[in-house]
């Protein structure tokens, strides 16, 4: 180990070394370290290169505010770019790589960008890269893209899994520092169900390892005691859990890093867990972030935030330098200096920008033997890839600058409360002059949060404890749990003079405001000069605050700069709106298990396994997978569907139609209800009969088609298309609830309860008879559109004499559990008759030959007139959608009308082709489109259905099916849409 | 410094960047104008630009409640394309794309229009049929399109999951090579600067509180900065259309305001150099020049003016993104935001004279607003200048619903939340 | 967002489907085309308090009339409508 690890102190285990590699260099840290603390302990200060100017950068902060020390972790499928070294916990074998440096971190070629800095000022790219030609940007863009973007992207699938969990509680406390722990305890004492989250690896916040007493015990003991108490009360304690979003109805999103501190998740363990938290009340104890001070070279490795330097010493036992200089504009820097000295870190001098400080503050410097200079500030830093000296001078410019050797400059630029979550929930921030930062405003209507501790601007521990306890109590009471919690413990007073010195009016241009996005004071000045004076314009023009640290250290300094430059108060400048996520979250966590084959659930028909076993080629149809065809040896989909369809016309086939939507419509008014929702008459439907029906949308366009089966006076079974099932169910429920609540009718989706199969073909009756021995199935009992209840090998079946194919056909429905048995029984019965199963392609062929419309035609833009279904529009009644059917646009001369097409050259047509009047070279405007195509085994032709402008009057004409995107242009003849048995004798016979 | 160029940038740098002037003046309202445009978003600013450039009408004010570009022009996923299907919409979006192609030059402001290509994935044979229909619509309207097969997709988009084991295996795609992305904020600023340079007054922090009228006729606007008279008053306020038009007594319009969330990830080195849309769910994704993945999905689905959405869509979008690109699982979502969407009953906009004399209305942009910005401004300027629609926006009339001439590209019906 | 379903209790947004504007009343089937066109195609689209229908589609499947603020997403009241209507506080 190098000499930066202190001999004692901190929550690290000096007996447990942890080995890791930084850019291939073997390093050692301790159990309990973050990557940042381990790097600092190793004396590694140069961690990465900056985004734009490739400047050397090191660790600035302690946790989620870190803008500089971004690294790539791990490799292969577990590669992660842009990870804050301050948030990465160390584990054995951790591979760490620096980013944005080529050829190496130490010598980075693009650091030359820094020399040309003024060229790359804010928004320079809006002013150039426009010539010499109009496509100039396409030439420049790849260079810009390669230069931008920090870390390399992952390129392999993630081997880890993510869980989603739900958490319900009465009081959610976000942040487990002193205020959060006190709040959680008070709420739990009142009897509320409490959940406590903290984004860091352990609870305690700034108190972790701090050398001070709470009540009469050391701080760490107090933290442990609170956690033990909360655990005893059944509170949910979630360390390593960042709450990223605060949504309506007190719903919050959080991600728990379950296994990121391990080399790999153990078997079955998720890498991360995404929590949806629903709570009655929220306590936001999210702490505050220290601000940097603005001066030239404030981004040099070794320049850090003062309280972070303090925490590295107290929490991790690491000295960030051998001789620390503090630069303060408020009292908190002095407190940090005192703690550092107590931890054994040398603090040589303290510069305070304020002209004068009080005696208590002065006493700190005296006590630790530091040289205190008030009214002084740092104006420059020195050192190539790490600080070795600073130049300081009187802040008012009155005196001579001096140079001081130092290897760590600790900046105490004031505190910015972390109010992102309150702001997300709709609270407008309110500027606090005392803090020089915005505070959360009042909760938006309906919001149930309180803010406590440093997040509310209380930066002394005693105040945090008291406010936290009060907030926890108030939250519990608001959630209905009122009891008197115990008083918070006492602790020693601290310096609380937080009022920071103002940001200098003209800080040096090379002072960085947003470190990660390389935004300098000069960029802010340039943006203002160019009129980007709204805080949102400034953000967008300079990219300030838009990096992965969400501008935690940048935003408030920028507001102060803008205020100073434009003569407004910071409150008038305002803030940009905080938006989720408060800290970046992995997409994998949000997706949970809904990835890969589990992206969406598959609905399975009762016969699905059979299809797979018998060569069915499955393809998605809505949420289902349906067999397109059953391939035999040597077959293609095309040869298979032609065989299957021809077999239906010639003998008999069986098709799984379980996916059709099925809705039970029952009740005394069921017939009245259906009469209103179908365009054709339904009240007159006799019991034991079925009818084809058309449903229209509110606007008169076709919603869906299907059949209604009247099982009794008061009971119907309605079928829908496969993909329309959900929409039709909602449609019917909506009409019942909103239009005719007085109708006595109940609607139940029974899609999954029934298996359905279509037995079609001239031999279908023989097959059905063989499968239902002893049951009469002749035309007398079961005519076209008739219904029959029977038992097939004991299984109750409902048979409907319906035909989509145009052949004699029966839809056989049975309970889903009997589905495969009934399917097998029908196949067995059909074997002597040459039965074959057929898939959706043959189903399509058969219905195209008959001119029946389906998905290709029912595209949501068609009226009954487009489809030639005027015959299904009752003239005797009003029905849903009828009022808007007479609008002129639906009767325009050039409206689409359904026709059939025959490929006169005998070549296959392609759906999606357009109808054209002219030849390939001058096709003319589109006259319509080809909606469905097939080879027709019944006619031996390549045929299609099409929607053609004024199509009915053009039947018999020759046109072209234009498919220019595939380079095809085929002659077609327009025909009536029904190619087989237009009289319907085959299906009725 | 006036004109932007590499030389101006170099000269500016030598001068410490002290010589730059505001990109647009902070104009104060005059008592009257020829044309007042309500709404300093992309469409309002573009309208001002084309009024000045195409019609020589420069006595124009654009009044904006907040800061220009604060609405959807700065809250979208920056996609530009003209791969539409209906003969009445395709020419409009194609005209827009052509304007995009010359926009940086036209405005002397680099809007970074990147014609990197737009790919729409198909997952079923039926979807391929629909894309074929769309591609052929484009081709017959003189717009290049191509169909990609799985092998072609694998070459063009290496990180895309095209495996047959996917829940919705990709079977092919439609590709418009000329489509792409642009830098959204730059569009607002570029139009503002160009309009300003021709004399248009851009008046920020100026909220319209009412309309001036003589009888039925609209004769200007009342604002928080005083009354402004105008011979013609044009409204282009997107999601706030219902509120602004209610001030003119128009209470019922074919519009609902919804929230659409958009998403951006942390920056990374180049991983995706084309826009890709999912076909088994609603998701569109590209990678910005800064390296962040920019993506979006469906609207949340309920009426909202809050400009923020909720978690279900966040989850849906994340899982759809990973269904396409499993390698992005460990990439982190950096920022989300919500746009206020003026959803119409057919998914297409309204650009029209009226509905009162002296008034002109441009609204109802649904998902189409950003890509349409140039053509919207161009045709709206024409409509205002000539008191009749340009042939390109003639189909986008207000009475098309009552007349039964809707422009339902997606076939979702008269349900604004479904478009 | 959580919607207080009168039959199921407060439930998460993802269990519900937005059905639409409840400010308009459903026309009779026999009403004329102008009435229907106004119902189908036009909206008040208020910013602020709104009446709207939601279906508890992944729950009891009841239709709810919800009084909700479109600017803040605050839900003031919800009642079942239709054949199983509950006391309408909306």
Task: Flag if B13 and A116 touch (Cβ within 8 Å).
Answer: yes
Task: Flag if B257 and C47 touch (Cβ within 8 Å).
Answer: yes
A563 shares a domain with A429: no
pLDDT at A163 over 90: yes
Assign residue A508 the CATH number of its domain: 1.10.10.1100
The nearest CA of chain B is from the CA of A694 a distance in Å of: 16
Residue A506: the pLDDT is 65
Among left, alpha and beta (phi > 0; psi -120 to 50; other), residue B381 is: alpha
A168 shares a domain with A104: no
**Residue A365 in tokens:** 């410097």
Give domain status of residue A495, yes or no. no
pLDDT at A1 over 70: no
Choose the closest CB to B168 out of A424, A587, A620: A620
Task: Flag if C42 and B304 touch (Cβ within 8 Å).
Answer: no
- Do A600 and A623 form a contact (C-beta atoms < 8 A)? yes
- Residues in A touching C31 (Cβ below 8 Å): 883
Best residue in A165, A169, A249, A252 for a mutation probing chain C (most C CBs within 10 Å): A249
Give domain status of residue A884, yes or no. no
Task: Flag if C43 and B253 touch (Cβ within 8 Å).
Answer: yes
Best residue in B322, B407, B410, B411 for a mutation probing chain A (most A CBs within 10 Å): B322
CA A973 from chain center: how many Å?
50
pLDDT at A502 over 80: no
Best residue in C40, C43, C56 for a mutation probing chain A (most A CBs within 10 Å): C40
Classify domain C2-81 by CATH number.
Answer: 3.30.2270.10
Assign residue A82 the CATH number of its domain: 3.10.20.440
Average pLDDT of the segment spanning B15-23: 89
Choose the closest CB to A963 out of B5, B136, B167: B136
Which helix or strand (DSSP H or E) is residue B157 part of?
Answer: none
Helices A332-343 and A306-316: crossing angle in degrees, nearest 10, is 30
CA A986 from chain center: how many Å?
54
Summarised one tens digit per residue, pLDDT across range B55-110 is 999 999 999 999 999 999 999 999 999 999 999 999 999 999 999 999 999 999 99
pLDDT at A927 over 70: yes
Choose the closest CB to C55 out of A278, A733, A878: A733
Q: What are phi and psi of B361, to 5 degrees?
A: -130, 135
Nearest CA in chain B to A100: B269
Task: Flag if B252 and C34 touch (Cβ within 8 Å).
Answer: no
Choose the closest CB to B256 out of C37, C40, C43: C43
Number of A to C CB contacts under 8 A, please give it.
87
Q: What is the 3-state secondary structure (H, E, C) of A438-463?
A: EECCCCCCCCCEEECHHHHCCCCHHH
Give domain status of residue A486, yes or no. no
Percent of chain A whose predicted confidence (pLDDT) is above 70: 99
- Look at chain A and report how many structural domains it folds into: 7
Q: Where are the domains of chain C?
A: 2-81
Calculate the average pLDDT of chain A.
95
Touching chains, B (3+ CB pairs < 8 A)? A, C
Domain that holds residue A472: 162-288+417-478
Q: CA of A586: how far to CAs of A100, A355, A592, B264, in Å?
A: 21, 47, 10, 12
Grade residue A396 by pLDDT with cuts at 50, 70 and 90.
Answer: confident
Summarised one tens digit per residue, pLDDT across range A322-350 is 999 999 999 999 999 999 999 999 999 99
A715 shares a domain with A674: yes
pLDDT at C81 over 80: yes
Average pLDDT of the segment spanning A524-532: 94
Choose the closest CB to A446 out of C13, C32, C74: C74
Asked if A710 reaches chain B (Cβ–Cβ under 8 Å), the answer is: no
Pick the closest to residue A321 from A412, A410, A408 (CA basis): A408
Residue with tokens 């709570």: A279
Pick the closest to residue A672 from A681, A663, A664 (CA basis): A681
Average pLDDT of the segment spanning A118-122: 83
A262 shares a domain with A231: yes
Average pLDDT of the segment spanning C61-73: 96
**Could you say which of A157, A176, A196 is where a domain stops?**
A157
Summarised one tens digit per residue, pLDDT across range A280-303 is 999 999 999 999 999 999 999 999
A784 shares a domain with A828: yes
User: What Rg do the C-alpha atoms of chain B give, in angstroms?
Assistant: 21
Rounded CA-CA distance B192/B23 in Å is 8
Q: Which residues 277-316 of B are in CB contact (within 8 Å) with A?
A: 280-281, 287, 289-291, 306, 308, 310-311, 314-315
Across A222-236, A477-491, A972-986, B245-259, least confident range? A477-491
Choose the closest CB to C43 out of B255, B305, B402: B255
Asked if A727 reaches chain B (Cβ–Cβ under 8 Å), the answer is: no
Assign residue A473 the CATH number of its domain: 3.50.50.60
Q: What is the 3-state secondary structure (H, E, C) of A560-623?
A: HHHHHHHCCCHHHHCCCCCCCCCCCEEHHHHHCCCCHHHCCCCECCCCHHHHHHCCEEEEEECC
Residue A116: the pLDDT is 74
Nearest CA in chain B to A141: B289
A777 shares a domain with A649: yes
Average pLDDT of the segment spanning C43-53: 97
Task: Flag if C73 and B306 touch (Cβ within 8 Å).
Answer: yes
Task: Flag if B401 and C41 touch (Cβ within 8 Å).
Answer: yes
Average pLDDT of the segment spanning C26-43: 97
Say whether domain B79-183+256-342 belongs to CATH 3.60.15.10: no
Q: What are phi and psi of B6, to 5 degrees?
A: -60, -35
- Residues in C touching A670 (Cβ below 8 Å): none
A28 shares a domain with A145: yes
Q: Which residues 72-101 of A are in CB contact (within 8 Å) with C?
A: none
Asked if B391 reaches chain A (Cβ–Cβ under 8 Å), the answer is: no
The nearest CA of chain A is from the CA of B218 a distance in Å of: 31
A917 shares a domain with A855: no
Asked if B310 reaches chain C (Cβ–Cβ under 8 Å), the answer is: yes
Average pLDDT of the segment spanning A151-162: 95
Residue A117: the pLDDT is 74
Q: Where are the domains of chain B?
A: 26-71+184-193+201-253+346-418, 79-183+256-342
Touching chains, A (3+ CB pairs < 8 A)? B, C
Q: Which residues 256-285 of B are in CB contact (within 8 Å) with C?
A: 256-257
Residue with tokens 């309309």: B211
The nearest CA of chain A is from the CA of C22 a distance in Å of: 9
Touching chains, C (3+ CB pairs < 8 A)? A, B
Choose the closest CB to B332 out of A531, A585, A860: A585
Pick the closest to residue A421 from A206, A556, A195, A243 (CA basis): A243
Grade residue C89 by pLDDT with cuts at 50, 70 and 90.
Answer: low
For A49-83, give one letter per residue: b (16+ CB within 10 A) or e. Answer: bbbbbbbbbbbbbbbbbbbbbbbbbbeebbbbbbb
- Do A301 and A57 form a contact (C-beta atoms < 8 A)? yes
- Residues in B touching A923 (Cβ below 8 Å): 140
Average pLDDT of the segment spanning C68-79: 96
Rounded CA-CA distance B321/B323 in Å is 5
E strands along A338-388, which residues?
A: 347-352, 371-374, 376-382
A772 shares a domain with A639: yes
pTM above 0.90, yes or no: yes
Rounded CA-CA distance A882/A880 in Å is 6
Q: Which residues 338-367 of A are in CB contact (within 8 Å) with B?
A: none
Choose the closest CB to C83 out of A741, A884, A886: A741
Summarised one tens digit per residue, pLDDT across range A788-836 is 999 999 999 999 999 999 999 999 999 999 999 999 999 999 999 999 9
Q: Which residues 23-62 of C are in CB contact (within 8 Å) with A?
A: 26-33, 35-37, 39-41, 53, 55, 57, 61-62
**Could you say which of A732, A749, A766 is where a domain stops?**
A749
Asked if A612 reaches chain B (Cβ–Cβ under 8 Å), the answer is: no
Residue A562: the pLDDT is 92
What secondary structure does DSSP assign to A495-552, as a single string? -----PPPPPSS--TT-EEETTTTEEHHHHHHHHHTT--SHHHHHHHH-TT-STTTTT
Give domain status of residue A850, yes or no. yes
Q: Which residues contact A712 (CB under 8 A, 6 or more apart)?
A: A687
- Do B101 and B82 form a contact (C-beta atoms < 8 A)? no
Asked if A919 reaches chain B (Cβ–Cβ under 8 Å), the answer is: no
Asked if B306 reaches chain C (Cβ–Cβ under 8 Å), the answer is: yes
Say whether domain B26-71+184-193+201-253+346-418 belongs to CATH 3.50.50.60: yes
Best residue in A50, A64, A75, A127 for a mutation probing chain B (most B CBs within 10 Å): A127
The nearest CA of chain C is from the CA of A703 a distance in Å of: 15
Which helix or strand (DSSP H or E) is residue C7 part of?
Answer: none
Task: Flag if A158 and B326 touch (Cβ within 8 Å).
Answer: yes
Grade residue A505 by pLDDT with cuts at 50, 70 and 90.
Answer: low
Q: What is the 3-state secondary structure (H, E, C) of B266-278?
A: EECCCCCCCEEEC
């Amino acid at each position: 180990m190098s000499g930066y690890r202190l001999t004692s102190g901190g929550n690290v285990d000096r007996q447990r070394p942890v080995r890791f590699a930084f850019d291939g260099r073997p390093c050692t840290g301790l159990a309990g370290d973050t990557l940042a603390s381990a790097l600092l302990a190793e004396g590694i200060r140069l961690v990465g290169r900056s985004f734009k100017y490739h400047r050397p950068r090191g660790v600035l902060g302690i946790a989620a505010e870190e803008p500089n020390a971004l690294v790539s972790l791990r490799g292969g499928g577990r590669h992660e770019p842009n990870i804050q070294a301050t948030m990465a916990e160390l584990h054995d074998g951790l591979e760490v790589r620096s980013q944005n440096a080529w050829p190496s971190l130490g010598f980075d070629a693009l650091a030359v960008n820094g020399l040309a800095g003024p060229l790359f000022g804010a928004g320079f790219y809006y002013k150039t890269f426009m010539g010499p030609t109009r496509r100039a940007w396409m030439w420049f863009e790849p260079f810009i893209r390669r230069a931008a973007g920090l870390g390399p992207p992952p390129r392999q699938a993630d081997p880890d899994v993510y869980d989603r969990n739900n958490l319900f509680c009465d009081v959610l406390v976000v942040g487990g520092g002193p205020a959060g722990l006190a709040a959680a305890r008070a709420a739990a004492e009142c009897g509320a169900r409490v959940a406590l989250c903290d984004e860091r690896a352990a609870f305690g916040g700034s108190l972790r390892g701090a050398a001070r007493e709470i009540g009469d015990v050391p701080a760490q003991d107090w933290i442990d005691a609170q956690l033990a108490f909360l655990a005893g009360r059944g509170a949910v304690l979630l360390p390593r859990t960042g709450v990223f979003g605060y949504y309506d109805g007190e719903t919050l999103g959080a991600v728990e890093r379950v296994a990121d501190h391990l080399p790999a998740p153990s078997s079955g363990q998720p890498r991360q867990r995404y929590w949806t938290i629903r709570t009655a009340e929220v306590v936001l104890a999210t702490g505050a972030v220290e601000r940097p001070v603005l001066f030239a070279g404030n981004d040099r490795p070794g320049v850090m935030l003062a309280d972070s330097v303090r925490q590295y010493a107290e929490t991790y036992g690491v000295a960030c330098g051998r001789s620390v200089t503090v630069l303060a504009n408020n009292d908190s820097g002095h407190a940090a200096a005192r703690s550092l000295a107590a931890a054994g870190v040398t603090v040589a001098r303290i510069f305070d920008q304020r002209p004068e400080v009080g005696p208590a503050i002065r006493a700190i410097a005296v006590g630790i033997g530091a040289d205190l200079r008030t009214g002084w500030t740092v104006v420059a830093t020195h050192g190539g890839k790490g600080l070795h000296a600073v130049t300081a001078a009187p802040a008012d410019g009155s005196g001579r600058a001096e140079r001081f050797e130092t290897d760590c400059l600790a900046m105490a630029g004031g505190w910015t409360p972390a109010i992102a979550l309150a702001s997300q929930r709709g609270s407008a921030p309110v500027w606090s002059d005392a803090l020089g930062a915005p505070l959360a405003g009042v909760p938006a209507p309906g919001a149930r949060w309180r803010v406590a501790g440093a997040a509310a601007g209380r930066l002394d521990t005693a105040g945090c404890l008291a406010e936290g306890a009060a907030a926890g109590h108030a939250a519990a009471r608001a959630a209905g749990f009122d009891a008197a919690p115990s008083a918070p413990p006492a602790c020693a007073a601290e310096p609380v003079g937080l009022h920071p010195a103002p940001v200098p009016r003209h800080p040096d241009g090379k002072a960085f405001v947003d470190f990660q996005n390389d935004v300098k004071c000069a960029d802010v000045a340039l943006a203002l000069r160019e009129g980007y004076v709204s805080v949102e314009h400034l953000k967008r023009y300079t990219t300030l605050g838009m990096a992965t640290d969400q501008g935690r250290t940048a935003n408030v300094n920028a507001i102060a700069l803008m205020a100073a430059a434009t003569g407004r108060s910071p409150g008038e400048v305002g803030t940009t709106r905080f938006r989720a996520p408060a800290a970046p979250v992995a997409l994998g966590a949000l997706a949970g298990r809904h990835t890969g084959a589990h992206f969406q659930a598959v609905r399975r028909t009762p016969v699905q396994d059979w299809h797979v076993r018998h060569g069915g080629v499955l393809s998605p149809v809505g949420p289902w997978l349906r067999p397109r065809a059953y391939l035999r040896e040597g077959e293609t989909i095309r040869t298979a569907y032609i065989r299957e369809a021809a077999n239906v016309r010639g003998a008999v086939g069986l098709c799984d139609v379980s996916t059709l939507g099925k809705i039970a419509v029952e009740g005394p008014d069921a017939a009245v209800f259906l009469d209103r929702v179908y365009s054709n008459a339904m009240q007159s439907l006799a019991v034991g009969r079925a009818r084809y029906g058309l449903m229209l949308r509110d606007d008169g366009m076709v919603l869906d088609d299907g059949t209604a089966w009247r099982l009794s006076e008061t009971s119907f079974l309605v079928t829908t298309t496969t993909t329309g099932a959900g929409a039709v169910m909602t449609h019917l429920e909506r009409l019942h609830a909103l239009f005719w609540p007085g109708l006595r009718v109940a609607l139940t989706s029974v899609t999954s309860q029934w298996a359905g199969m279509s037995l079609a073909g001239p031999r279908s009756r023989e097959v059905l008879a063989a499968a239902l021995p002893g049951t009469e199935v002749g035309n007398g009992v079961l005519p076209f559109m008739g219904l029959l209840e029977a038992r097939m090998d004991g299984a109750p079946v409902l048979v409907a004499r319906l035909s989509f194919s145009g052949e004699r056909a029966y839809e056989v429905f049975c309970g889903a559990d009997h589905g495969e048995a009934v399917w097998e029984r029908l196949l067995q019965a059909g074997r002597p008759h040459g039965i074959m199963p057929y898939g959706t392609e043959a189903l399509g062929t058969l219905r195209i030959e008959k001119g029946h419309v389906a998905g290709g035609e029912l595209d949501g833009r068609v009226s009954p007139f487009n489809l030639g279904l005027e015959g299904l529009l009752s003239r005797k009644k009003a029905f849903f959608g009828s009022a808007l059917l007479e609008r002129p646009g639906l009767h325009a001369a050039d409206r689409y009308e359904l026709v059939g097409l025959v490929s006169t050259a005998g070549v296959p047509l392609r759906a999606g082709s357009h109808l054209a009047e002219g030849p390939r070279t001058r096709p003319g405007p589109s006259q319509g489109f080809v909606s469905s195509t097939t080879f027709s085994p019944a006619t031996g032709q390549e045929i299609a259905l099409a929607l053609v402008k004024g199509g009915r009057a053009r039947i018999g004409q020759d046109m072209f099916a234009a498919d220019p995107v595939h380079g095809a242009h085929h002659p077609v003849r327009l025909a009536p849409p029904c190619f087989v048995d237009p009289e319907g004798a085959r299906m009725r016979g | 410094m006036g004109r932007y160029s590499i030389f101006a940038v170099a000269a500016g740098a030598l001068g410490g960047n002290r010589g730059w002037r505001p990109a647009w003046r902070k104009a104060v309202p005059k008592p009257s104008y020829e044309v007042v445009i309500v709404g300093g978003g992309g469409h309002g600013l573009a309208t001002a630009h084309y009024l000045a450039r195409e019609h020589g009408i420069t006595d124009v004010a654009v009044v904006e409640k907040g800061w220009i570009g604060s609405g959807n022009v700065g809250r979208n996923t920056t996609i530009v394309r003209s791969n539409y299907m209906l003969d009445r919409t395709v020419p409009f979006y194609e005209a827009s794309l052509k304007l995009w192609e010359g926009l940086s030059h036209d405005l002397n402001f680099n809007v970074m229009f990147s014609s990197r290509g737009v790919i729409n994935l198909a997952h079923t044979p039926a979807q391929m049929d629909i894309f074929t229909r769309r591609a052929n619509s484009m081709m017959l309207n003189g717009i290049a399109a191509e169909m990609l097969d799985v092998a072609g997709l694998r070459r063009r988009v290496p990180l895309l999951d095209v495996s047959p084991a996917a829940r919705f295996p990709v079977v092919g795609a439609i590709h418009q090579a000329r489509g792409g992305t642009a830098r959204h904020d730059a569009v607002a600023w570029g139009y503002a600067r160009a309009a300003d340079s021709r004399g248009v007054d851009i008046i920020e922090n100026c909220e319209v509180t009412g309309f001036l009228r003589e009888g039925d006729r609209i004769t200007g606007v009342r604002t928080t900065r005083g009354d402004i008279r105008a011979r013609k008053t044009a409204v282009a306020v997107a999601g706030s259309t219902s509120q602004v038009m209610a001030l003119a007594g128009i209470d019922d319009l074919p519009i609902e305001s919804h929230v659409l969330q958009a998403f951006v990830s942390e920056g990374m080195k180049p991983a995706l150099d084309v826009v890709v849309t999912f076909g088994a769910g609603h998701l569109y994704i590209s990678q910005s020049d800064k390296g962040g993945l920019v993506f979006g999905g469906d609207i949340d689905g309920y009426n909202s003016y809050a400009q923020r959405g909720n978690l279900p869509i966040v989850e849906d979008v994340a899982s759809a993104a990973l269904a396409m690109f499993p390698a992005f699982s460990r990439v982190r979502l950096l920022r989300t935001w919500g746009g206020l969407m003026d959803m119409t009953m057919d998914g297409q906009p309204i650009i029209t004279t009226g509905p009162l004399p002296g008034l002109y209305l441009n609204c109802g942009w649904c998902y189409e607003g950003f890509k349409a910005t140039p053509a919207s401004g161009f045709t709206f300027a024409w409509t205002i200048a000539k008191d009749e629609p340009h042939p390109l926006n003639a189909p986008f009339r207000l009475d098309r619903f009552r007349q039964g001439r809707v422009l339902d590209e997606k076939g979702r019906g008269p349900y604004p939340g479904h478009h | 967002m959580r919607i207080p379903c009168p039959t199921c209790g407060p439930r998460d947004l993802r269990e519900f489907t937005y059905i639409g504007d409840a400010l308009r009343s459903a026309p009779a089937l026999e009403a004329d085309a102008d009435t229907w066109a106004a119902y189908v195609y036009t909206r008040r689209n208020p910013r602020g308090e709104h009446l709207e229908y939601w279906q508890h589609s992944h729950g009891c499947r009841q239709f709810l009339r919800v009084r909700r603020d479109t600017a803040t997403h605050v839900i003031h009241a919800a009642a079942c409508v239709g054949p199983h209507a509950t006391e309408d506080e909306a």
